[in-house]
Amino acid sequence: MEVAQRGAGMNQEGLESYQRVTGRFGREFRYFTEVGSTNDVALAAARSGAAEGLVVVADGQSEGRGRLQRRWEAPVGSSLLMSLLFRPPEPFVYFAGRITMVCGLSLVAAVSAVSGVAVQLKWPNDLIHEASGASGDWLKLAGMLSEVVFSEAGQPVALVVGLGVNVNVAAGDLPALAPNAGSLSALAGTEVSRVDLLDAFLGEIESRHADLLCGVDPVPAWREQLAWLGRPVVVHGAGGIIQGIAEDIDAEGALVLRLPGGETRRFLAGDVSLRPGAY
Ligand code: ADP
């Protein structure tokens, strides 16, 4: 057949030949076999004036990073390692926070559609699978890292959202990534097309980002996808470990924790890590 069709035909292709012909996100597409970090490439492009919609993808990263200076590990060719460049309107902080939520929601929708694996978001921005619905039994499938570019005058001018998704990491390779790392292929029992996942994700981003700019607040949908709300959790931060019930998230996306004494405490994303835990 002359014209390649979506579906089985796409599955055979590598990420290097991915093309997106409609919409804003992914029309400018940069692929690397190996790179330091896709976020660094997108951040440098943003500083050089690249337009919103740039997507950077790599098969391998030597300096992949998570939040709080942690490393993001991925066997070469196994994962979807990508960064997206956004130019949020004012108020920047409002839109930057919500764009990160839109990325999480888009990833949930794309992973569900392409792999069928049941996933949730772990506040503030990881993708997880809960093995049995019981607290404590969860696998981390993806991490997200949002970084802001500032102008010389100190104004925020761009947002880069990086995502690392464990797509086809073999079960035997998972423990080396993190004790609770999981992958879509290990859970689905079959390889998952990274091209199909990327394409589904960018389609979701396209429409959800447009909705956000039209005034649709993603917070209610994001809250719906969050794991462990109403359940006992442990918050790990610079100040130590705090236990409580993950009561809710507020309008800014901060976690509201109900402490054992009855009072509540608010945690901002970026400062802390969340784990399930009884007390
Ligand atoms: P959290 O919010 O869960 O505390 P981060 O978002 O900072 O974590 O992500 C970095 C952490 O993720 C690392 O410290 C490591 O434990 C874990 N990690 C690194 N690579 C992977 C991977 N491919 N899959 C799952 N977990 C990973």
Q: Where are the domains of the chain?
A: 2-225, 232-274
Inter-residue contact 108 to 227 (CB < 8 Å): no
Side chain identity, residue 113: A
Q: Which of 72, 169, 241 to mutate to test the pocket of ligand 1 (most atoms within 8 A of CB)?
A: 72
Band of residue 29 on the pLDDT scale cut at 50, 70, 90: very high
Q: What fold, for 2-225? A: BirA Bifunctional Protein; domain 2 (3.30.930)
The residue contributing the CA closest to ligand 1 atom 9 is: 66
Query: What integer pLDDT is reported at residue 3 of this predicted model?
Result: 34
- In the reported structure, the alpha carbon of residue 248 is separated from the centroid of ligand 1 by a whole-number distance in angstroms of 23
Q: Is 70 in the pocket of ligand 1 (CB under 6 A)?
A: yes
Q: How far is the CA of 109 from the centre of ligand 1 (A)?
A: 21
Interval 109-167: pLDDT, tens: 999 999 999 999 999 989 999 987 554 589 999 999 999 999 999 999 999 999 999 99
- Identify the pLDDT of residue 237: 84
Residue 230 in contact with residue 215, Cβ under 8 Å? no
| Confidence (pLDDT) at 46 | 98
* pTM, rounded to two decimals: 0.93
To test ligand 1's pocket by mutation, which of 69, 79, 177 has the most ligand atoms within 8 angstroms of CB? 177
φ, ψ for residue 77, nearest 5 deg: 80, 0
Mean pLDDT of the chain: 92
Cα 143 to ligand 1 centroid, rounded to whole Å: 6
Task: Kindly report the number of other CB atoms within 10 A of residue 94's CB atom.
Answer: 14
User: How high is the pLDDT of residue 278?
Assistant: 62
Top mutation candidate among 73, 103, 241 for ligand 1, by most atoms within 8 Å of CB: 73
E strand or H helix at 247: strand 240-249
Please give the pLDDT value at position 9: 36
Residue 231 exposed, middle or buried by CB count within 10 Å (0-12, 13-18, 19+): middle
3-state secondary structure of 12: coil
Buried b (16+ CB within 10 A) or exposed e, 40-66: bbbbebbeeebebbbbbbbbbbeebbb
* Separation of alpha carbons 36 and 34, rounded Å: 7
Q: Kindly report the protein residue whose alpha carbon is nearest to atom 25 of ligand 1.
A: 181
Please name the residue whose Cα sits nearest to atom 4 of ligand 1. Answer: 273
User: Is 128 a pocket residue for ligand 1 (Cβ < 6 Å)?
Assistant: no
CATH architecture, domain defined by 232-274: Roll (2.30)
**pLDDT tens digit string along 48-75?**
999 999 999 999 999 999 887 889 999 9
Contact present, 227 and 119 (Cβ < 8 Å): no
Quick one: average pLDDT of 166-175? 97
Phi, psi (degrees; rounded to nearest 5) at 96: -60, -45
**Cα separations (Å) of 175 from 80, 182, 195, 278?**
18, 9, 25, 25
Q: Is 139 in the pocket of ligand 1 (CB under 6 A)?
A: no
Q: Do domains 2-225 and 232-274 have the same CATH topology?
A: no
Indicate the angle between helix axes 194-213 and 92-115, nearest 10 degrees. 140
What percent helix, strand, coil does the chain show, rounded to 5?
Answer: 30, 30, 40
In the reported structure, the alpha carbon of residue 261 is separated from the centroid of ligand 1 by a whole-number distance in angstroms of 31
What is the reported pLDDT for 225?
Answer: 97
Inter-residue contact 158 to 149 (CB < 8 Å): yes
